[in-house]
């Protein structure tokens, strides 16, 4: 018996369903759990706030259209910097497939040293490298993780590697979840060739084939408890513009939250769950990231090649990971300084630009707060060591571009013109207020962290909340620390593990 993807916007009246398991969120983690449980014979309903768009239609959207239909809030979500911290633009997806639709495809396992820290220092004995290995293997097979061939590198990345070699460090090929990638650098706006194996092309079709019912345009507001257990969720059906329509109620024997580190804490707050721990919505890590642009005499045309193809962990001891990433030219133009003729002259030089980025393996400092309406607001107090790491990251990227032969670099600092090597040498990056540094994040994590006791964590090692039996959290909010690498593969492997732990325990009786 196959299931279906339903558009909530076309459902007449209210939605009232009963099922074995209800999953909130259809992104990287929700899709994995939906497939695993449905394939094991459980009746699964997935509720997704965003709309459902066919892969070819999403891939054909202009970036401005994609921002409106597939990205959350047109990519305007931000963490407000407190003290000497930058404002960090936090990007997320909002559609059937979640943020998985927007990734650059980069896949890293959770680094072994992280798992050793989690399993020994933090006492999460079930999360050893050996115990997680089968889940990584299974997810990598399911989403076709492959090494990006050197031939797929853009000229931008080749030039950067040349500079890195001259400075004594190397780049390593990235692994990505792609099949037949033609190197069109459009991954962040959904691959036009369906070459990126996002969950709408992998786990969700598997879930539907096994009978799962997925409902788009369904915003869950709270978890419904009864007799000391989670027994369902309630919320609203939305129209195509995201406005509230009918009511929804799904009764279930088990409830799974996969709404992301940004939204799962809200669902707990709305439902009065997890208050005792005092950590719901706290400890958010973001992997603050930035890019530095190098300008060359030659035509680089960095958009020819895989969007992301190589990385360097040479600065891991300083908690920095360097990752190649080109950006669509329209967005690249918008990051250039100046106005009027000066800006136009720079825009003319776009084909001469190389781009390389990096992220900080941050200590946390992010915190969600309840807003007046539905949206939370988020503050981020960057640790002093992380602020110093920001300067260091900018300096490494800029020095490498100059070693590669760049004439000028453009730093992610508002109000700063392009710099030649002597101007960079005299610049004290630590003295620039962090509020002038342009930072982004695609990796919010940690707001409902996993732990070994209810006083300091929200879920146990199975992902079940301490406060409400039958309620599981499987998204990136459960990560106890940041990773220092892109998290989708780690989130999916942890979700696969949580699904199998659920299957180990009989479903409770329906109420």
Ligand X SMILES: Cc1cc2nc3c(=O)[nH]c(=O)nc-3n(C[C@H](O)[C@H](O)[C@H](O)COP(=O)(O)OP(=O)(O)OC[C@H]3O[C@@H](n4cnc5c(N)ncnc54)[C@H](O)[C@@H]3O)c2cc1C
Of 334-393, which residues contact ligand SF4 (CB under 6 A)? none
Closest to 194 measured CA to CA, from 125, 266, 101: 101
Q: How far is the CB of 101 from ligand X (least distance, A)?
A: 8
Q: Which is nearer to ligand SF4, 331 or 342 (CB)?
A: 331
Q: Which of 184, 229, 304, 454 binds ligand SF4 (CB under 6 A)?
A: 184
Which of ligand X, ligand SF4, none sits in contact with 386, Cβ below 5 to 8 A by type? Answer: none
3-state secondary structure at position 164: helix
Q: How far is 409 from 56, CA to CA, in rounded Å?
A: 37
Q: Which of 119, 178, 198, 285 binds ligand SF4 (CB under 6 A)?
A: 178
CA-CA distances (angstroms) from residue 352 to 293, 339, 349? 10, 19, 5
Q: Which structure tokens are listed for 337?
A: 């300084």
Q: Is 182 one of the binding residues for ligand SF4 (CB under 6 A)? A: yes
Q: Where are the beta strands (DSSP E) in 206-326?
A: 213-216, 218-226, 229-238, 244-257, 289-295, 310-312, 320-324
Q: Which is nearer to ligand X, 35 or 258 (CB)?
A: 258
Of 89-128, which residues contact ligand SF4 (CB under 6 A)? 105
Q: Helices H, strands E: what count in the chain?
A: 13, 21
Q: Which of 106, 171, 191, 325 binds ligand SF4 (CB under 6 A)?
A: 191
Q: Which of 55, 183, 265, 302 binds ligand SF4 (CB under 6 A)?
A: 183
Q: Which is nearer to ligand SF4, 154 or 264 (CB)?
A: 154
DSSP 168-188: T---EE-EEEBSS----S-GG
Q: Is 77 one of the binding residues for ligand X (CB under 6 A)? A: no
Q: Which is nearer to ligand X, 457 or 488 (CB)?
A: 488
Ramachandran area for residue 318 (φ above 0: left; ψ -120 to 50: alpha; else beta): alpha
Contact 33, 498 (CB under 8 A): yes
- Part in contact with ligand SF4 (CB under 6 A); list of ranges 72-80, 191-199, 311-319, 412-420: 191-199
Q: Which residue in 52, 53, 287, 443 is the catalytic one?
A: 443
Contact 251, 41 (CB under 8 A): no
Q: Is 320 one of the binding residues for ligand SF4 (CB under 6 A)? A: no
How many residues touch ligand X under the rule CB under 6 A: the total is: 39
Q: Which is nearer to ligand SF4, 193 or 229 (CB)?
A: 193
Q: Using CA atoms in the order 342, 347, 350, 353, what is the torsion angle rounded to 10 degrees?
A: 30
Which of ligand SF4, ligand X, none sits in contact with 182, Cβ below 5 to 8 A by type? Answer: ligand SF4
Of 243-262, which residues contact ligand X (CB under 6 A)? 258-260
Q: How far is 255 from 31, CA to CA, in rounded Å?
A: 14
Binding-residue pattern over the window 460 to 479 for ligand X, x denoting contact by CB under 6 A: ---------------xx---
Q: How far is the CB of 91 from ligand SF4 (least distance, A)?
A: 16
Q: Is 193 one of the binding residues for ligand SF4 (CB under 6 A)? A: yes
Q: How many CB atoms lie within 10 A of CB 399?
A: 19
Q: How far is 154 from 439, CA to CA, in rounded Å?
A: 23
Residue labelled with tokens 């939605």: 15
Q: How far is the CB of 98 from ligand SF4 (least distance, A)?
A: 17
Q: Are strands 213-216 and 4-7 parallel, antiparallel or unpaired?
A: parallel
Active site annotation includes 443: yes
Q: Which is nearer to ligand SF4, 193 or 454 (CB)?
A: 193
Q: Is 47 one of the binding residues for ligand X (CB under 6 A)? A: yes
CA-CA distances (angstroms) from residue 92 to 24, 28, 360, 374, 482? 16, 12, 19, 16, 17
Determine whether 203 is exposed, middle or buried from the number of CB atoms within 10 Å of its CB (0-12, 13-18, 19+): buried
Q: How far is 53 from 186, CA to CA, in rounded Å?
A: 17
Which of ligand X, ligand SF4, none sits in contact with 488, Cβ below 5 to 8 A by type? Answer: ligand X
Binding-residue pattern over the window 482 to 501 for ligand X, x denoting contact by CB under 6 A: ----xxxx-x----------
Q: How far is 269 from 267, CA to CA, in rounded Å?
A: 5
Chain positions contacting ligand X, by CB under 6 A: 24-30, 47-50, 91-94, 98-100, 102-106, 188, 219-220, 258-260, 263, 442-443, 475-476, 486-489, 491
Residues designated catalytic: 443
Residues that bind ligand SF4 (CB under 6 A): 105, 178, 181-187, 191, 193, 195-196, 306-307
């Amino acid at each position: 018996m196959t299931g279906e993807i339903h558009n909530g916007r076309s459902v007449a009246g209210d939605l009232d369903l009963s099922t074995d398991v209800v999953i909130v969120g259809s992104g990287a983690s929700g899709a994995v759990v939906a497939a695993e449980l449905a394939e094991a014979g459980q009746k699964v309903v997935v509720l997704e706030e965003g709309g459902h768009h066919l892969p070819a239609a999403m891939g054909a959207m202009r970036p401005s259209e994609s921002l409106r239909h597939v990205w959350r809030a047109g990519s305007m979500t931000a963490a407000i910097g407190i003290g000497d911290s930058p404002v960090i633009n936090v990007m997320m997806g909002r559609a059937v497939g979640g943020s998985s639709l927007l990734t650059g495809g980069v896949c890293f396992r959770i680094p072994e040293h992280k798992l050793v820290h989690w399993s020994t220092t933090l006492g999460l004995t079930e999360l050893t490298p050996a115990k997680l290995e089968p889940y990584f293997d299974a997810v990598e097979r399911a989403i076709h993780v492959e090494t990006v061939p050197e031939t797929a590198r853009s000229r931008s990345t080749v030039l950067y590697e040349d500079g890195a070699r001259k400075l004594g460090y190397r780049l390593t090929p990235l692994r990505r979840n792609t099949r037949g990638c033609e190197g069109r650098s459009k991954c962040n706006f959904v691959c036009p060739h369906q070459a990126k194996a996002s969950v709408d092309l992998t786990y969700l079709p598997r879930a539907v084939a096994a009978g799962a019912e997925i409902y788009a345009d369904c915003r869950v507001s709270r978890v419904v408890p009864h007799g000391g257990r989670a027994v369902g969720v309630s919320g609203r059906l939305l129209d195509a513009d995201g406005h509230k329509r009918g009511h929804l109620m799904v009764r279930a024997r088990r409830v799974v939250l996969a709404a992301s580190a940004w939204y799962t804490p809200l669902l707990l707050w709305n439902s009065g769950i997890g208050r005792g721990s005092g950590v719901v919505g706290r400890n958010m890590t973001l992997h603050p990231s930035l890019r530095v642009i190098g300008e060359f005499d030659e035509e680089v045309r960095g958009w020819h090649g895989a969007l992301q193809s190589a990385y360097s962990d040479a600065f891991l001891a300083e908690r920095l990971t360097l990752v190649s990433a080109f950006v669509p030219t329209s967005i690249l133009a918008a990051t250039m300084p100046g106005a009027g003729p000066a800006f136009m002259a720079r825009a003319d030089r776009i084909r001469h630009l190389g781009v390389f980025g990096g992220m900080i393996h941050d200590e946390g400092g992010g915190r969600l707060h309840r807003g007046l309406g539905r949206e939370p607001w988020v503050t981020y107090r960057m640790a002093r060591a992380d602020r110093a790491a920001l300067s260091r990251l900018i300096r490494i990227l800029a020095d490498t571009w100059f070693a590669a032969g760049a004439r000028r670099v453009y730093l992610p600092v508002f109000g700063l013109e392009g710099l030649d090597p002597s101007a960079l040498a005299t610049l004290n990056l630590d003295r620039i207020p962090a509020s002038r540094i342009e930072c982004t994040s695609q990796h919010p994590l940690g707001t409902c962290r996993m732990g070994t006791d209810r006083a300091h964590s929200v879920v146990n090692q199975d992902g079940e909340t301490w406060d409400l039996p039958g309620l599981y959290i499987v998204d990136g909010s459960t990560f106890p620390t940041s990773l220092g690498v892109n998290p989708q593969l780690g989130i999916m492997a942890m979700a696969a593990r949580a699904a199998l732990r659920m299957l180990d325990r009989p479903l409770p009786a329906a109420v």
